[in-house]
Amino acid sequence: MKDKDTLLQNAGINTRLSHIGNSPSDFHGFVNPPVVHASTVLFPNARTMETRDQKYTYGTRGTPTTDALCDAIDALEGSAGTILVPSGLAAITVPFLAFLSAGDHALIVDSVYGPTRIFCDTMLQRLGVEIEYYDPLVGAGIEQLIKPNTRLVHTEAPGSNTFEMQDISAISTVAHRHGCVVTMDNTWATPIYFKPLDHGVDISIHAATKYPAGHSDILMGTVSANAAHWDQLREANIQLGICGAPDDAYQVLRGLRTMGVRLERHQESTLAIAQWLEGREDVARVLHPALPSFPSHELWKRDFKGSSGIFSFVLAVSSPEKFKAKAHAFLDALRIFGLGYSWGGYESLAVHVYLGDRRISKAPTEGPVLRLQIGLEDVADIKADIEKGLAAAKEA
C-alpha cells in the first residue's frame, strides 16, 4: 500500500485514474470495491458502541464503497478530506451552510451556475446571509467588495454558459487576507485540468454527475477541503445528514477510470468544432476559454492544463425580436444533439441559454447564446448536424 502511494504520486494521470481508490487485497483480490449497502453497522459490545471506537459506525458516515471514491477524489484534488452528496447542487449548498451564518456577507461570482444563484437568493437570504454578486473578471479588485462581515467568496471558472475565466490565485490571496473561505465550483475542468487547492482555494466542488460519472445516469456531488476547513465541512455534513449513496459512488468510481481518455476526446472534438464555428459568418462569437480570441484566454492558458467539452456560441442575428425563433429553429433541426440539461455524458447536447438573471456579466447583444456539449461521436457527424441547425436558423 505504501509502495502504491509513492508509485502513483509520480505516475501520469491515466495511470493514477486506473489505480486510485481501490485496494484489491482488502477484498480478497477482487479488483473493484464491493457495494456495501448500509444503515446499521453492528458493534461487538456495549463499550465499543458507547465510544464508537471502530472504523464504520453508521451508513450516513461512510462505507467501504463511499470511502473508496472519497480516497480517489482526495488523491486527485490533493485534499485533506472529501464528502459525497446526492447532487452537484448539494455540493454547493452544503459547504455554504457549513461556513455561512446569519449576518454574514457572501460574494458570489455573477457567472455562477443558475441554481446556485437561486439558493443564494432564496434560502440563504431567508437565513439572514447578505449576498452580493461580483464581476468574474474582478481579480485582486475583489478587495474593494470585501466588508468586515464578508465570510465566503464563491468562484466558478470558467463561468456557467458564458465561460468567463477568473484569476483564482489573486482572488484567494485577497480573500484570505480578510479571513474569508474561498469555494470553487470546478466542474468544467475536473481536477485533471485544474486543481483548485493548489491555487489557494479552500473548498473544491464538483458535480460528479458530469465527467466523473460520464454516462448521463448518475447524480452525485463531491466537496473536498484543505486541512484547515475539513473538520467544519465534515461536521456540517453529519449535522445535515446529506450523504451520497453507495450504488452511485460505485458508478462514479467506475466512471473515473475512463475520465482521462474521455476528456482527451471531448477536448479535441470540442476545440475542432469551436474553431470551425469561429470561422463562420452566421456565428457572431464563440465563448470557449481555450480559444486565443476569448477575452480571458490568458488566464486559462496560465492556470489550466486542458479544456473540456462544453462551450457556447452566439448566433449572428440582427434583430433581438428574432433571437428566440432563430435559436429554436437551430435546436429543432438537430438530430444527433439531444435537447437536454446537464452535460459530461458521452452524447452531444444543446440548449438555448437563459441569461436574464445576470446583473454584471450581461448577455451578449449580437444574438442568442447556444450552449453545446460535444460528446464522443465522430466530429464529421457532429459538424454535419450543426450545419443542419445553422441552415434552419437562417431560414427562420
What is the closest distance, in whole angstroms, from the C-beta atom of residue 216 to ligand PLP in the complex? Answer: 11
CB 302 within 8 A of CB 169: no
Nearer to ligand PLP, 207 or 351 (CB): 207
Closer CB to ligand PLP, 217 or 235, in the complex:
217
Q: Does 110 bind ligand PLP (CB under 6 A)?
A: no
Residues with Cβ < 8 Å from 151, sequence gap 6 or more?
Answer: 99, 100, 101, 104, 105, 106, 179, 180, 181
Looking at the DSSP bridge assignments, the partners of residue 85 are 221
Q: Smaller CB distance to ligand PLP: residue 214 or 221?
A: 221
Rounded-to-integer distance, Cα 358 and Cα 346, Å: 30
Residue 188, amino acid:
W
- Binding map of ligand PLP across residues 209-238, x = CB under 6 A, - = no contact: xx--------x-x-----------------
Cβ at position 31, least distance to ligand PLP in Å? 27
Distance separating alpha carbons of residues 124 and 145, to the nearest angstrom: 19
Query: Min. distance of Cβ 209 from ligand PLP in angstroms?
Result: 3
Question: C-alpha angle 85/90/93, rounded to 5°?
Answer: 130
Q: Is 87 in the site for ligand PLP (CB under 6 A)?
A: yes
Of 58, 173, 342, 376, the residue at the interface with ligand PLP (CB under 6 A) is 342
Residue from 82, 93, 155, 160 binding ligand PLP (CB under 6 A)? 160
Of the residues 21, 88, 255, 309, which one makes contact with ligand PLP according to CB under 6 A:
88
Cβ 242 to ligand PLP, closest distance in Å? 12
Candidate segments 10-18, 71-79, 202-210, 351-359, binder of ligand PLP by CB under 6 A: 202-210
Instruction: Rule CB under 6 A: say whether 248 interacts with ligand PLP.
Output: no
State the burial class of residue 148 (Cβ atoms within 10 Å of its Cβ: 0-12, 13-18, 19+): exposed
On whether the CB atoms of residues 124 and 131 are closer than 8 A, the answer is yes
Report CA torsion sign: 389, 392, 313, 363. Answer: negative
CB of 205 vs ligand PLP, minimal distance in Å: 7
Helical (H) or strand (E) element with 349: strand 349-352
CB of 28 to ligand PLP, least distance (A): 33
Grid coordinates given for 203: 473548498
Site string for ligand PLP, 289-328 (x = CB under 6 A): ----------------------------------------
Smallest distance from the beta carbon of 187 to ligand PLP, in angstroms?
4
Strand order in the sheet with 369-373: 283-287, 310-315, 369-373, 349-352, 338-339
Nearest distance in Å: CB 183, ligand PLP: 12
Exactly one of 113, 193, 230, 304 binds ligand PLP (CB under 6 A); that residue is 113
Query: Angle formed by the axes of helices 90-99 and 227-240, to 10°?
Result: 110
Query: Shortest distance, CB of residue 108 to ligand PLP, whole angstroms?
Result: 13
Q: Name the one residue in this structure whose C-alpha cell is 445535515.
A: 240
Query: In one letter, which amino acid is 345?
Result: G
Residues of this chain that interact with ligand PLP (CB under 6 A) are: 87-89, 113, 160, 185, 187, 207, 209-210, 219, 221, 342
